[in-house]
A and B are shown apart, each in its own frame.
Chain A
């Protein structure tokens, strides 16, 4: 039984092919103006890699903010439910999922079966999201992928107080002007976000193990900052970005079973 999960996020599109309780292949591509076409391309590319054909797919589930507009799926499920399912499959000990995505960050309480018990999400602004980090990386002239390693070099603590993207950007610029080291600023940004995420997380009953998912979990500096602040057992999947798509794929196979 072959199924697919698609996660159409605000920054990237992820596709996962899942067969007999195994990940067969996955692809991550950046989002563009024509999300439908890109999603289709992304799925076809993955199928090519796994040596399958579109016809082989017995069910497709879409998640992410673009989940509703993709025409060729069987069902759409929100990324909250999908991240819970995906994280639970990867590590059954997971009781909390922190997903820092492009435009939303969320903290999800999960039971032993991967069911969502409760969740909280950021308010409408971009503070504490992938987008926020992207803007800051831009202001600093650093690639987003490099933020993590850069921040590890930091020796001095800098506090960034603004969380509004616009204000934080100007704060970063004035810190550069004051001659602060890039790595210290980046660490400051990571700490600011992790504070924000943690105060959100504290609205739920935080339980071990905490899984970090979403693109931002690839940022080692961010993971460090979160670990320090959470003081909890933290699990980072090998491919944190595809947890949502994986959850969608698992949900797709469950649809088949229930039928």
Chain B
């Protein structure tokens, strides 16, 4: 849906961002720009995005920059306002602003070999367009790029960086190490903010997260339906934003409740994403290209739909407010992207079976090592099970690495093969 943003919105956003380095203004106008056609959940997302930026500008609470695999429940329980440079980079790419920031970063020796999302984010930092962080909390999962990006911007802003070093193995010793780190961070933040983290806050946040989680699980169940009621293309856009940033908030819960109702209505009426569904696709890797591109049209023309994507899979169990640190640690180590590749292979194959998948597309983001490094092993495994997989090279944020004709040929040839 982000691809169908209307031009007025885009130009207003660009104008406003360009004019006001103070994003408070952006927050004010942003919430008023809706387009008539968009769904309620989309509006809720937009509200959430601008609300958070606005809050961050007010500086009434500590502003923390963070990454997507840091459990948001930790941040909300501590009363922090999180900013997600990775997600915002995706949003900027979708409104065609990424290249401006990428060029800025490249002029400062951040090379084109780096993940484009971090190049956009670095450009954002260098241009000083977003609310500055009071501190940075990031986890080392899933990639080195994330780990070092947050470390390097902490030097730029001269602020504290708490790295949550996520262990490789999912064993007791590892979880203890992780839980101890989370607890220590919480205590440090208590000291800075002067507030006391109490059970009530933990209870409240965890409950909100758990309730949203229930909706996400129900949504995932709906998506088993034929025809697919929700496009993976949307799931990897604004829904993904909420998936990583809103768990543990009222707004997050409201978003998922609304989305649940929307999808439920489609399921009840038997409405699919496309009219005639011939190929059900599973999309691998956390992201997709966010700039203007023809991939989803190419799929649609050939009657293919992204029925599910690995990033939306709920891999963690419900949080337990009685043992908050162990519980959050468990959420982190349950991620199938950590540890030996077999974990991911197993999850992928489970999803293939569960969602009646005809073909798998692994989007190989240039500049990503952690995901692409395992793609061939996944492909080998799936092939033995008779599931075809396409490794599609591309770039999520840097449109200079997108070749329309080449991408189209690869997708079409793959779908011809499935027929």
Contacts and interface: CB of A to CB of B under 8 A. Distances in A.
Direct contact of A and B (CB under 8 A): yes
Interface of A: 65, 68, 77-81, 103-104, 115-121, 123-124, 203
B409 interface: yes
Contacts of A116: 413, 416-417
B416 A80 contact: yes
B172 interface: no
A77 B416 contact: yes
B409 A80 contact: yes
Nearest to A205: B383
Contacts of A119: 413-414, 417
Interface stretch (B48-56, B234-242, B254-262, B398-406): B398-406
Given A65-B405, A78-B409, A104-B409, A117 B417 contact: yes
Interface string B222-233: 000000000000
B413 A81 contact: yes
Nearest to B390: A119
Contact of A81 (B388, B405, B406, B417): B417
B304 to A, nearest CB: 14
Interface string B322-354: 000000000000000000000000000000000
Interface secondary structure of B, over-half rule: helix
B412 interface: yes
Contact of A118 (B383, B393, B406, B410): B383
A111 to B, nearest CB: 11
A124 B409 contact: no
B412 A78 contact: yes
B409 A118 contact: no
Contact of B416 (A68, A81, A104, A118): A81
Contact of B406 (A68, A115, A117, A124): A124
Contacts of B376: 203
23 contacts: A65-B405, A65-B406, A65-B409, A77-B412, A77-B416, A78-B409, A78-B412, A78-B416, A79-B409, A80-B413, A80-B416, A80-B417, A104-B406, A104-B409, A117-B417, A118-B388, A118-B417, A119-B413, A119-B414, A120-B391, A121-B406, A121-B409, A124-B403
- Closest 4 interchain pairs by CB? A80-B413, A78-B413, A116-B417, A81-B416
Given A78-B412, A104-B406, A104-B409, A123 B393 contact: yes
Interface of B: 376, 383, 388, 391, 393, 401, 403, 405-406, 408-410, 412-414, 416-417
Contacts of B414: 119
B388 A124 contact: no
A142 B401 CA distance: 32
B372 to A, nearest CB: 11
A157 B408 CA distance: 39
Contacts of A203: 376
B394 to A, nearest CB: 8
Nearest to B376: A203
A243 B410 CA distance: 19
A167 to B, nearest CB: 15
A203 B408 CA distance: 21
B393 A124 contact: yes
Contacts of B403: 124
Nearest to B392: A121
Contacts of B388: 118
B365 to A, nearest CB: 12
A77 B416 CA distance: 8
Contacts of A68: 408
Contacts of A117: 417
A121 to B, nearest CB: 6
Given A115-B417, A117-B417, A119-B413, 6 more contacts: A77-B416, A78-B413, A80-B409, A81-B417, A116-B416, A118-B388
A117 B389 CA distance: 10
Contacts of A80: 409, 413, 416-417
Nearest to B401: A124
A120 B362 CA distance: 13
Contacts of A79: 409, 413
A103 B412 CA distance: 17
Contacts of A81: 413, 416-417
Contacts of A103: 406
A86 to B, nearest CB: 14
B117 to A, nearest CB: 19
B23 to A, nearest CB: 35
The interface centre, meaning the residue of A79, A117, A123 with most chain B CB atoms within 10 A of its CB, is A123
B401 A121 contact: no
Nearest to A117: B417
Contacts of B401: 124
Nearest to A83: B413
B363 to A, nearest CB: 13
| Residue in A79, A104, A115, A121 with the greatest tally of chain B CB atoms within 10 Å | A121
Nearest to B409: A78
A116 B388 CA distance: 11
A33 to B, nearest CB: 16
A187 to B, nearest CB: 29
A104 to B, nearest CB: 7
Contacts of B417: 80-81, 115-119
Contacts of A118: 383, 388, 417
B362 to A, nearest CB: 12
Nearest to B415: A78
A179 to B, nearest CB: 35
Contacts of B383: 118
Nearest to A204: B383
Nearest to A81: B416
Contacts of B409: 65, 78-80, 104, 121
Nearest to A120: B391
A78 B411 CA distance: 9
A115 B410 CA distance: 16
B177 to A, nearest CB: 38
Nearest to A124: B403
